[in-house]
Amino acid sequence: MQALVIVAHGSHLNPDSSAPTYDHADTVREVGAFDEVRTGFWKEEPSIREVLRTVEADEVYVVPLFISEGYFTEQVIPRELRLEGWDVADWDSDGLSASHVTLSATDVPEKTIHYCGPVGTHAAMTDVLVRRAETVTGDPNVGEGFGLAVVGHGTERNENSAKAIEYHADRIREMDRFDEVQALYMDEEPEVDDVTDYFESEDVVVVPLFIADGFHTQEDIPEDMGLTDDYRTGYDVPTEVDGHRIWYAGAVGTEGLMADVVLERAADAGADIGNTLEVVRERTRKTPQEAN
Protein backbone atom coordinates (compact mmCIF):
# COMPACT_ATOMS: atom_id res chain seq x y z
CA MET A 1 0.00 0.00 0.00
CA GLN A 2 1.05 3.57 -0.64
CA ALA A 3 -0.34 6.77 0.82
CA LEU A 4 -0.20 10.43 -0.15
CA VAL A 5 -0.10 13.11 2.53
CA ILE A 6 -0.57 16.71 1.37
CA VAL A 7 0.63 19.21 3.97
CA ALA A 8 -0.29 22.90 3.87
CA HIS A 9 -0.31 26.03 5.98
CA GLY A 10 -4.00 26.51 6.68
CA SER A 11 -5.39 29.40 8.72
CA HIS A 12 -7.41 29.95 11.87
CA LEU A 13 -8.73 33.20 10.37
CA ASN A 14 -9.40 32.41 6.72
CA PRO A 15 -11.63 29.38 6.07
CA ASP A 16 -10.78 29.53 2.35
CA SER A 17 -7.11 28.87 3.06
CA SER A 18 -7.52 25.09 3.26
CA ALA A 19 -10.04 24.76 0.42
CA PRO A 20 -7.47 24.16 -2.37
CA THR A 21 -5.75 21.48 -0.29
CA TYR A 22 -9.00 19.57 0.19
CA ASP A 23 -9.94 20.05 -3.47
CA HIS A 24 -6.66 18.67 -4.78
CA ALA A 25 -6.74 15.81 -2.28
CA ASP A 26 -10.23 14.92 -3.51
CA THR A 27 -9.04 14.94 -7.14
CA VAL A 28 -6.14 12.60 -6.37
CA ARG A 29 -8.41 10.38 -4.30
CA GLU A 30 -10.97 10.15 -7.11
CA VAL A 31 -8.46 9.01 -9.73
CA GLY A 32 -7.24 6.20 -7.47
CA ALA A 33 -3.53 6.98 -7.59
CA PHE A 34 -3.04 6.06 -3.91
CA ASP A 35 -4.59 3.65 -1.45
CA GLU A 36 -4.94 6.52 1.01
CA VAL A 37 -4.92 10.30 0.69
CA ARG A 38 -4.58 12.44 3.82
CA THR A 39 -4.18 16.16 4.54
CA GLY A 40 -2.37 17.92 7.37
CA PHE A 41 -2.09 21.60 8.31
CA TRP A 42 0.14 23.89 10.34
CA LYS A 43 -2.70 26.18 11.47
CA GLU A 44 -5.72 23.85 11.27
CA GLU A 45 -6.84 20.36 12.10
CA PRO A 46 -5.88 17.70 11.21
CA SER A 47 -2.41 18.83 12.21
CA ILE A 48 0.83 17.98 10.47
CA ARG A 49 2.09 16.57 13.77
CA GLU A 50 -0.66 13.96 13.93
CA VAL A 51 -1.30 13.12 10.29
CA LEU A 52 1.18 10.24 9.89
CA ARG A 53 -0.58 8.38 12.71
CA THR A 54 -3.74 8.31 10.61
CA VAL A 55 -2.04 6.47 7.74
CA GLU A 56 -2.12 2.67 7.39
CA ALA A 57 0.16 2.30 4.36
CA ASP A 58 3.85 1.50 4.86
CA GLU A 59 4.99 3.77 1.99
CA VAL A 60 4.06 7.40 2.55
CA TYR A 61 4.67 10.28 0.14
CA VAL A 62 4.51 13.71 1.76
CA VAL A 63 4.00 16.64 -0.62
CA PRO A 64 4.11 20.21 0.77
CA LEU A 65 1.52 22.50 -0.81
CA PHE A 66 3.87 25.47 -0.55
CA ILE A 67 5.25 27.82 -3.21
CA SER A 68 8.92 27.91 -2.28
CA GLU A 69 11.65 26.26 -0.29
CA GLY A 70 12.22 27.93 3.05
CA TYR A 71 11.27 28.00 6.70
CA PHE A 72 8.17 25.80 6.44
CA THR A 73 9.52 23.15 4.08
CA GLU A 74 12.98 23.04 5.66
CA GLN A 75 12.15 23.41 9.36
CA VAL A 76 8.49 23.36 10.38
CA ILE A 77 7.22 20.38 8.37
CA PRO A 78 10.19 18.04 9.08
CA ARG A 79 9.99 18.95 12.77
CA GLU A 80 6.22 18.41 13.00
CA LEU A 81 6.45 15.09 11.14
CA ARG A 82 9.35 14.14 13.45
CA LEU A 83 11.47 13.01 10.51
CA GLU A 84 14.52 11.17 11.81
CA GLY A 85 17.86 12.28 10.43
CA TRP A 86 16.41 15.17 8.46
CA ASP A 87 19.06 17.49 7.06
CA VAL A 88 18.15 20.13 4.50
CA ALA A 89 21.53 19.51 2.86
CA ASP A 90 20.18 16.15 1.70
CA TRP A 91 17.99 18.05 -0.77
CA ASP A 92 21.19 19.50 -2.26
CA SER A 93 19.08 22.35 -3.59
CA ASP A 94 19.86 25.76 -5.02
CA GLY A 95 16.52 27.05 -3.77
CA LEU A 96 14.60 25.58 -6.70
CA SER A 97 15.75 21.99 -7.11
CA ALA A 98 14.61 20.14 -3.96
CA SER A 99 13.19 16.82 -5.11
CA HIS A 100 12.78 14.27 -2.32
CA VAL A 101 14.51 12.46 0.51
CA THR A 102 13.56 9.12 2.08
CA LEU A 103 13.49 8.90 5.87
CA SER A 104 11.62 7.40 8.78
CA ALA A 105 9.55 9.18 11.43
CA THR A 106 9.83 8.83 15.19
CA ASP A 107 6.08 8.34 15.68
CA VAL A 108 5.73 5.65 13.00
CA PRO A 109 9.16 3.99 12.68
CA GLU A 110 7.75 1.09 10.66
CA LYS A 111 6.82 3.41 7.77
CA THR A 112 9.00 4.73 4.96
CA ILE A 113 8.48 8.47 4.49
CA HIS A 114 9.31 10.05 1.14
CA TYR A 115 9.49 13.76 1.87
CA CYS A 116 9.12 15.78 -1.34
CA GLY A 117 10.00 19.32 -2.35
CA PRO A 118 7.26 21.96 -2.51
CA VAL A 119 4.85 22.02 -5.43
CA GLY A 120 5.69 25.63 -6.28
CA THR A 121 9.18 24.89 -7.59
CA HIS A 122 8.24 21.90 -9.74
CA ALA A 123 8.48 22.42 -13.50
CA ALA A 124 4.85 21.32 -13.91
CA MET A 125 3.77 24.43 -12.00
CA THR A 126 4.49 26.44 -15.13
CA ASP A 127 1.65 24.63 -16.88
CA VAL A 128 -0.69 25.46 -14.01
CA LEU A 129 0.08 29.17 -14.37
CA VAL A 130 -0.74 28.98 -18.08
CA ARG A 131 -3.90 26.97 -17.36
CA ARG A 132 -4.90 29.68 -14.87
CA ALA A 133 -4.63 32.26 -17.65
CA GLU A 134 -6.80 30.04 -19.87
CA THR A 135 -9.39 29.72 -17.11
CA VAL A 136 -9.72 33.42 -16.31
CA THR A 137 -9.98 34.43 -19.97
CA GLY A 138 -12.13 31.47 -21.00
CA ASP A 139 -9.74 30.91 -23.91
CA PRO A 140 -7.74 27.64 -24.09
CA ASN A 141 -5.46 29.26 -26.67
CA VAL A 142 -4.87 32.56 -24.87
CA GLY A 143 -1.49 34.09 -25.56
CA GLU A 144 -1.28 36.12 -28.75
CA GLY A 145 -2.00 39.77 -28.02
CA PHE A 146 -1.78 39.18 -24.26
CA GLY A 147 0.79 39.94 -21.61
CA LEU A 148 1.16 37.72 -18.54
CA ALA A 149 2.29 38.81 -15.08
CA VAL A 150 3.33 36.27 -12.44
CA VAL A 151 3.07 37.87 -8.99
CA GLY A 152 4.69 36.92 -5.70
CA HIS A 153 5.90 38.35 -2.39
CA GLY A 154 9.52 38.96 -3.34
CA THR A 155 12.76 38.46 -1.45
CA GLU A 156 11.81 40.48 1.63
CA ARG A 157 10.10 37.44 3.09
CA ASN A 158 12.07 34.63 1.48
CA GLU A 159 14.70 34.92 -1.23
CA ASN A 160 13.59 31.59 -2.67
CA SER A 161 10.10 33.03 -3.22
CA ALA A 162 11.51 35.42 -5.83
CA LYS A 163 13.48 32.56 -7.37
CA ALA A 164 10.28 30.60 -7.94
CA ILE A 165 8.57 33.60 -9.54
CA GLU A 166 11.48 34.25 -11.90
CA TYR A 167 11.82 30.56 -12.72
CA HIS A 168 8.26 30.17 -13.92
CA ALA A 169 8.19 33.56 -15.66
CA ASP A 170 11.30 32.54 -17.59
CA ARG A 171 9.80 29.20 -18.56
CA ILE A 172 6.60 30.80 -19.81
CA ARG A 173 8.61 33.39 -21.71
CA GLU A 174 10.53 30.59 -23.43
CA MET A 175 7.24 29.12 -24.65
CA ASP A 176 6.86 32.20 -26.86
CA ARG A 177 3.13 31.99 -26.30
CA PHE A 178 2.38 35.37 -24.71
CA ASP A 179 3.52 38.64 -26.21
CA GLU A 180 5.07 39.69 -22.91
CA VAL A 181 5.84 37.94 -19.63
CA GLN A 182 6.84 39.79 -16.47
CA ALA A 183 7.59 38.79 -12.87
CA LEU A 184 6.11 41.31 -10.42
CA TYR A 185 6.28 41.56 -6.65
CA MET A 186 4.43 42.92 -3.66
CA ASP A 187 7.53 43.71 -1.59
CA GLU A 188 10.06 44.97 -4.14
CA GLU A 189 10.59 46.30 -7.64
CA PRO A 190 9.11 45.70 -10.15
CA GLU A 191 5.94 46.15 -8.08
CA VAL A 192 2.52 44.85 -9.01
CA ASP A 193 1.12 48.29 -8.08
CA ASP A 194 2.61 49.57 -11.36
CA VAL A 195 1.54 46.62 -13.50
CA THR A 196 0.48 48.75 -16.48
CA ASP A 197 3.93 50.40 -16.63
CA TYR A 198 5.52 47.07 -17.54
CA PHE A 199 3.30 46.06 -20.44
CA GLU A 200 2.56 47.34 -23.90
CA SER A 201 -0.12 44.71 -24.49
CA GLU A 202 -3.66 45.99 -24.13
CA ASP A 203 -4.71 42.76 -22.40
CA VAL A 204 -2.75 41.57 -19.38
CA VAL A 205 -3.44 38.43 -17.35
CA VAL A 206 -2.24 38.66 -13.74
CA VAL A 207 -1.69 35.39 -11.87
CA PRO A 208 -0.52 35.44 -8.23
CA LEU A 209 1.82 32.56 -7.38
CA PHE A 210 0.00 31.85 -4.12
CA ILE A 211 -1.51 28.58 -2.92
CA ALA A 212 -4.82 29.97 -1.65
CA ASP A 213 -6.87 33.11 -1.91
CA GLY A 214 -6.62 35.30 1.15
CA PHE A 215 -5.74 38.78 2.34
CA HIS A 216 -3.05 39.41 -0.27
CA THR A 217 -4.81 37.99 -3.31
CA GLN A 218 -8.32 39.15 -2.50
CA GLU A 219 -7.60 42.53 -0.95
CA ASP A 220 -4.06 43.88 -1.40
CA ILE A 221 -3.33 43.01 -5.03
CA PRO A 222 -6.69 44.08 -6.54
CA GLU A 223 -6.52 47.42 -4.71
CA ASP A 224 -2.82 47.92 -5.45
CA MET A 225 -3.41 47.40 -9.18
CA GLY A 226 -6.31 49.82 -9.21
CA LEU A 227 -9.02 47.27 -9.98
CA THR A 228 -11.06 48.73 -7.14
CA ASP A 229 -10.74 51.28 -4.34
CA ASP A 230 -12.35 48.86 -1.92
CA TYR A 231 -12.13 45.10 -2.43
CA ARG A 232 -15.48 44.69 -0.65
CA THR A 233 -17.26 46.31 -3.60
CA GLY A 234 -15.75 43.80 -6.03
CA TYR A 235 -14.43 44.42 -9.54
CA ASP A 236 -14.97 43.24 -13.08
CA VAL A 237 -12.79 40.74 -14.92
CA PRO A 238 -11.37 42.23 -17.00
CA THR A 239 -11.13 45.70 -15.50
CA GLU A 240 -9.71 48.60 -17.49
CA VAL A 241 -6.75 50.31 -15.83
CA ASP A 242 -4.69 53.02 -17.55
CA GLY A 243 -5.78 51.89 -20.99
CA HIS A 244 -5.14 48.18 -20.32
CA ARG A 245 -7.60 45.37 -19.66
CA ILE A 246 -6.46 43.52 -16.53
CA TRP A 247 -7.60 39.91 -16.28
CA TYR A 248 -7.00 39.13 -12.63
CA ALA A 249 -6.91 35.38 -12.01
CA GLY A 250 -6.58 35.04 -8.23
CA ALA A 251 -4.32 32.47 -6.56
CA VAL A 252 -2.85 29.89 -8.92
CA GLY A 253 -3.19 27.24 -6.21
CA THR A 254 -6.96 27.21 -6.66
CA GLU A 255 -6.59 25.91 -10.23
CA GLY A 256 -7.65 22.26 -10.55
CA LEU A 257 -4.51 21.30 -12.46
CA MET A 258 -2.53 21.76 -9.22
CA ALA A 259 -3.43 18.13 -8.48
CA ASP A 260 -1.17 17.22 -11.40
CA VAL A 261 1.81 18.87 -9.69
CA VAL A 262 1.09 17.01 -6.46
CA LEU A 263 1.08 13.73 -8.37
CA GLU A 264 4.27 14.60 -10.24
CA ARG A 265 6.08 15.38 -7.00
CA ALA A 266 5.09 12.00 -5.58
CA ALA A 267 5.97 10.20 -8.82
CA ASP A 268 9.42 11.80 -8.82
CA ALA A 269 9.91 10.27 -5.36
CA GLY A 270 9.00 6.81 -6.65
CA ALA A 271 5.23 6.57 -6.23
CA ASP A 272 3.44 4.29 -8.67
CA ILE A 273 0.65 6.47 -10.04
CA GLY A 274 -0.11 4.62 -13.27
CA ASN A 275 -1.83 6.76 -15.89
CA THR A 276 -3.48 9.10 -13.40
CA LEU A 277 -1.55 12.16 -14.61
CA GLU A 278 -3.33 11.99 -17.94
CA VAL A 279 -6.67 11.47 -16.21
CA VAL A 280 -6.16 14.49 -13.95
CA ARG A 281 -5.08 16.73 -16.83
CA GLU A 282 -8.20 15.86 -18.78
CA ARG A 283 -10.56 16.02 -15.82
CA THR A 284 -9.33 19.40 -14.61
CA ARG A 285 -9.68 20.92 -18.06
CA LYS A 286 -13.41 20.20 -18.07
CA THR A 287 -16.00 22.44 -16.48
CA PRO A 288 -17.61 21.16 -13.27
CA GLN A 289 -20.77 20.38 -15.26
CA GLU A 290 -18.82 18.32 -17.81
CA ALA A 291 -16.92 16.45 -15.11
CA ASN A 292 -20.13 15.30 -13.37
What pLDDT shows up at residue 157?
Answer: 63
Interior/surface letters 184-218, b for 16+ CB within 10 angstroms, e for the rest: bbbeeeebbbebbebbebebbbbbbbbbbbbebbb
Q: Chunk the chain into consecutive blocks of 10 residues (it has 292) and report each block's average pLDDT, rounded to whole numbers.
A: 97 88 97 97 96 97 96 95 96 94 96 98 97 96 98 78 93 98 93 97 97 91 95 95 97 96 98 95 66 36
Instruction: Fill in the amino acid letter for 140.
Output: P
Q: What is the pTM (predicted TM-score) of this model?
A: 0.94
Q: What integer pLDDT is reported at residue 286 of this predicted model?
A: 56
User: Which residue intervals of the chain bear CATH 3.40.50.1400?
Assistant: 2-121+255-283, 125-253
Q: Check residue 292 and give its pLDDT.
A: 35
> What is the CATH code of the structural domain delimited by 125-253?
3.40.50.1400
pLDDT of residue 219: 92
Q: Does domain 2-121+255-283 have CATH number 3.40.50.1400?
A: yes
Closest by CA to 80, choosing from 109, 107, 102, 114, is 107
> What does the pLDDT read at residue 284?
86
